[in-house]
Amino acid sequence: MAWPEQYGGKGKGGFFTFILSDELQYHGLPYDSMSITSVGSTIMTFGSDEQKSEWLPKIQAGEMTFALGYTEPNAGTDLASLQTRAVRDGDEWVINGQKIYTSSAHVSTHVWLAARTDPDAPKHRGISTFVVDIKTPGITVRPLWTMGGSRTNETFWEDVRIPADALVGELDRGWYQASNALDLERVVLGASTSRLRRGIEEFVDYVKAERPDLVDDPFVRTSVAETKVDVEMARALSLTCAALVDTGMTPTMEGAMSKVWSSETAEHMYSRFMEILGPAGLLDRDEQEAPLEGALERGWLASPISRFGGGTNDVQRRIIATRGLGLPRG
């Protein structure tokens, strides 16, 4: 929706993207926002004309999908410490190293990879970003299962040879591309409020139909009402981000605020609803009596991930304080 028409989009801007993604999520339908909004838009800003004309139509058509290859076992929050190396050899780059939490690598066609190209430069400087076909020989993808049941991966890179033109943007300046993609990733992560809106609706319907003993309880009514306020706040923050994207800006402080608020709202929502239902809220989907077919237990286990995905909420608060409010780095 937001992409310019020259790249096969509709040129309609951030609000339309938000509405599309919001509606699809509400109805439980997939939408690969990460490839389209985070990686695709970053390629649009930093990629060469050849890269844009080759990759963008494929991303738009869903033929090219991305896993994000930033984090390493010793480089999470301190991402600039990453050690995966890319060394130029003739017309190719040779990649060696290890990534962790390369979510979706088992279902994506490509990895958006951050690798060190100059080990002697200051650590934020010697990093470059690449687009790598996941089928390239030398890449091993191993599953890591989260407590919520979803899969992420560790990926091992052994003499992985990719063409020279897989480098996106300026050599050794990949930190800026990665930061831009991460800012947009947080906008995507924050914009997950319609599934929470639906969660409230389903919970209220459930209580009315199955637990009429609870409908007059002041604690229940207050908890549900507070959750509704929180979810609408999250939606408003997402819309603020959409408005900034519409004006061609990359929301940094606003993306961080949106991601912090919506991820913590999700956790509060599941905790509150489980508390209301008591032990029944703990039942998982395999139990016949599980309320909402186990959705509360599943959501409660899965929701903490959003606190660390895309950068932890502690770090988002630092971004708000420093890049947003101009406070000195502590």
Ligand X SMILES: Cc1cc2nc3c(=O)[nH]c(=O)nc-3n(C[C@H](O)[C@H](O)[C@H](O)COP(=O)(O)OP(=O)(O)OC[C@H]3O[C@@H](n4cnc5c(N)ncnc54)[C@H](O)[C@@H]3O)c2cc1C
CA separation for the pair 130, 119 (Å, rounded): 17
Q: Work out how close the CB of 289 gets to ligand X at its nearest, in angstroms, rounded to a whole number.
A: 30
Q: Work out how close the CB of 179 gets to ligand X at its nearest, in angstroms, rounded to a whole number.
A: 13
Nearer residue to ligand X within complex by CB, 151 or 208: 151
Nearer residue to ligand X within complex by CB, 175 or 203: 175
Going by C-beta distance under 8 Å and a sequence separation of 6 or more, which residues neighbour residue 87?
Answer: 93, 94, 96, 117
CA separation for the pair 172, 85 (Å, rounded): 12
Question: Which single residue brings its beta carbon nearest to ligand X?
Answer: 76
Nearer residue to ligand X within complex by CB, 9 or 311: 311
**Tokens of residue 55, six digits:** 């990759």
Catalytic positions, written as ranges: 185
Dihedral (CA of 200, 204, 209, 213) sign: positive
Residue of 217, 46, 7 whose CA lies nearest to 131: 46
Q: Work out how close the CB of 88 gets to ligand X at its nearest, in angstroms, rounded to a whole number.
A: 23
**Tokens of residue 266, six digits:** 């999700």
Q: Work out how close the CB of 315 gets to ligand X at its nearest, in angstroms, rounded to a whole number.
A: 5
Alpha-helix runs per DSSP H in 278-322 = 295-302, 305-308, 313-319
The phi, psi pair for 227, rounded to 5°, reads: -65, -40
CA separation for the pair 223, 269 (Å, rounded): 9
CA 178 to chain centre: 13
Q: Work out how close the CB of 107 gets to ligand X at its nearest, in angstroms, rounded to a whole number.
A: 12
DSSP for residue 222 = H
- Whether the Cβ atoms of residue 128 and residue 171 lie closer than 8 Å to each other: yes
CB half-sphere exposure, 74, CA atoms < 13 A: 5
- Whether the Cβ atoms of residue 74 and residue 99 lie closer than 8 Å to each other: no
The residues binding ligand X (CB under 6 A) are 68-71, 76-77, 101-103, 146, 152, 305, 308-309, 311-312, 314-315, 318
Nearer residue to ligand X within complex by CB, 13 or 40: 40
